Copies of this chain bind each other. A is one copy, B any other.
Amino acid sequence: MLDPAWDAAGLVTAVVTARETGELLMVAHMNREALAVTQASGEAHFWSRSRQRLWRKGETSGNVLRVIEMRIDCDQDAVQMIVEPAGPACHTGARSCFYRRIEGERLVPVG
């Protein structure tokens, strides 16, 4: 039974991966409303901690994430969304937010 382990702020971690490639695209957070609206609409919604409001991914950029499948982890404090992205997932324009490799103290663009 779905029973998310909401943290003290009422959130779970949301990990977004691309259906076609499996690539990790972004990490954000969901509250109860974001999860419900995502399930109802089929488009990824998050809780924006900085803006303290529900956030429909792509609401300004148009780069919505169509949710193909949702999974939850063993202790139900993290959700995976397998998506078809309409465009770059990152606000920088990168396909994935994880576009830099850590090398010691340096960050190097992923090839």
> Chain A interface (Cβ within 8 Å of chain B)?
1-2, 13, 15, 17, 21-24, 26-27, 39, 69-75, 77-80, 90-92, 94, 97-102, 104-107, 110
Contacts and interface: CB of A to CB of B under 8 A. Distances in A.
Given A15-B24, A27-B77, 10 more contacts: A2-B102, A2-B106, A22-B23, A70-B101, A71-B102, A72-B98, A72-B102, A74-B92, A74-B94, A79-B102
Contacts of A1: 105-107
Given A15-B15, A15-B24, A24-B15, A71 B101 contact: yes
Protomer copies: 2
Given A2-B102, A98-B80, A102-B2, A73 B26 contact: yes
A24 B105 contact: no
Given A15-B24, A15-B27, A99 B74 contact: yes
